[in-house]
């Protein structure tokens, strides 16, 4: 089934400390956002990309779209102060039944996982890619352990996340109305007491957040698996 994808890329990448939006950092000679856009450009099920950007960087993004001949980027939408607002702005430009939200800063997403996710969203209306937590997680206060949290039920949630458009739009409206700030879009759906399905992803689908992530990114790209699909 066809879907459209909203790609938030309007952040400033403070934690990366690269002196520029991390979307423009080069991996194997190409900007991060180009790697991300390529995955969706090449997916036959993707019918359109809504790229959410900072207006000040519009010229830079337009240059890349032209240079790499991206045909599916149907709209550049201005982002907001927070990721949640950026995504909401992007969703308002969508008109497909199923929409995906995927961080511009996650260039290693694989098409096979996108397929699984879309199928799941068709059945459950809301789904997210995630991987089981591998480490032991402890809760602490003032460097004093308070609790060890049972790991078997914990998941590291990533993007893409997929939704029926009507559901995610109401979830964003509901969040605005109740001043609820979520760290991802699925949490806004949860806040409406709607279930979100988990779809197994991959540990290599990292978000480039801090400088050490660039080391992992290099390793992922060098291990053929990084960009190849099943
Ligand atoms: N994002 C966005 N609009 C914002 C903030 C973030 O579109 N106001 C996007 C980022 O560009 C990124 C994704 O949301 O692709 C995930 O956010 P994050 O990793 O936090 O990126 P930044 O906000 O850019 O980084 P930082 O928080 O370190 O400043
Ligand atoms: Mg951020």
Q: Where are the domains of the chain?
A: 3-222
Complex ipTM: 0.99
Closest ligand 1 atom to Cα of 208: 19
Q: Is 82 in the pocket of ligand 1 (CB under 6 A)?
A: yes
Q: How many Cβ atoms sit within 10 Å of the Cβ of residue 51?
A: 30
pTM of the complete model beyond 0.90: yes
Tell me what pLDDT residue 202 has: 95
Q: How many Cβ atoms sit within 10 Å of the Cβ of residue 30?
A: 15
Tell me what pLDDT residue 225 has: 55
State the Cα–Cα distance between residues 153 and 142, nearest whole angstrom: 25
Q: Is 182 in the pocket of ligand 1 (CB under 6 A)?
A: no
Closest-CA residue, ligand 1 atom 16, reads: 103
Q: Is 184 in the pocket of ligand 1 (CB under 6 A)?
A: no
State the Cα–Cα distance between residues 196 and 124, nearest whole angstrom: 7
- Ligand 2 center to 196 CA (angstroms): 23
In degrees rounded to 5, what are phi and psi of residue 133?
-70, 130
**Local mean pLDDT, 10-residue blocks, the chain (230 residues):** 96 97 97 98 98 98 98 98 98 98 98 98 98 96 96 96 98 98 97 98 98 97 64
CATH 3.90.550.10 fits 3-222, yes or no: yes
Pocket test for ligand 1, best of 6, 11, 100 (most atoms within 8 A of CB): 11
Closest ligand 1 atom to Cα of 80: 8
């Amino acid at each position: 089934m066809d879907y459209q994808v909203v790609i938030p890329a309007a952040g400033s990448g403070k934690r990366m400390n690269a002196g520029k939006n991390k979307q423009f950092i080069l991996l194997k000679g190409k900007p991060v956002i180009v790697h991300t856009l390529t995955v969706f450009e090449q997916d036959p099920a993707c019918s359109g990309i809504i790229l959410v950007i900072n207006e000040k960087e519009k010229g830079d993004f337009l240059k890349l779209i032209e240079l790499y001949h991206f045909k599916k980027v149907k709209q550049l939408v201005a982002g907001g102060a927070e990721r949640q607002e950026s995504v909401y702005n992007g969703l308002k430009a969508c008109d497909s039944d199923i929409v995906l939200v995927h961080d511009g800063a996650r260039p290693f997403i694989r098409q096979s996982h996108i397929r699984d996710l879309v199928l799941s969203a068709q059945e459950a209306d809301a789904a997210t890619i995630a991987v089981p937590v591998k480490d032991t997680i402890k809760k602490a206060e003032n460097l004093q352990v308070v609790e060890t949290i049972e790991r078997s039920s914990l998941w590291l949630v990533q993007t893409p996340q997929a939704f029926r458009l009507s559901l995610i739009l109401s979830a964003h409206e509901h969040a605005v109305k109740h001043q609820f700030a979520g760290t991802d879009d699925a949490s806004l759906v949860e806040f409406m007491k709607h279930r979100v399905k988990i779809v197994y992803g991959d540990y290599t689908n990292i978000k480039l957040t801090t400088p050490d992530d660039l080391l992992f990114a290099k390793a992922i790209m060098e291990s053929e698996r990084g960009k190849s699909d099943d």
